[in-house]
Amino acid sequence: MITLNHYLILSAILFVIGSVGVMRRKNLLMLFFSTEILLNAVNIGFVAIGKFYGDMTGQMFAFFIIAVAASEVAVALGLLILWYKRTGSLSLDTLKSMNG
């Protein structure tokens, strides 16, 4: 039987994978994907704890996080496409050229 610990361990593993991705990647698109993994890890934790306590609060938080992530996808992908058209690269090193 799958218990709360299994879900929390899965959430922690995904959070570590996302954190390592955020710290180690130089590509903006991979940084964006790592952030999405972090958000999904938090969602799994919220839903699992809400289910464990028989409360809908965790699911409501997860719903709002998904809504924020969806708006992030819309804005961030648009910005990434424009940045790629302008510089021809999605490397973080090209961001240093944005000196007002």
The Cα-based distances of 79 to 32, 54, 76, 86 in angstroms read 11, 40, 5, 10
Model pLDDT for residues 31-41, shown as the tens digit of each residue: 889 999 999 99
Sequence-separated (6 or more) residues with CB below 8 Å from residue 14: 37, 38, 40, 41, 44
Query: Binning pLDDT at 50, 70 and 90, where does residue 66 land?
Result: very high
Q: How far apart are CA 80 and CA 27, in angstroms?
A: 11
Are 36 and 45 a contacting pair, CB within 8 Å?
no
Query: Binning pLDDT at 50, 70 and 90, where does residue 43 land?
Result: very high
Query: Binning pLDDT at 50, 70 and 90, where does residue 86 land?
Result: confident
Q: How far apart are CA 95 and CA 28, in angstroms?
A: 10
Mean pLDDT to the nearest integer, 57-84:
91
The DSSP bridge partners found for residue 91 are: 27
Does 78 score more than 70 pLDDT?
Answer: yes
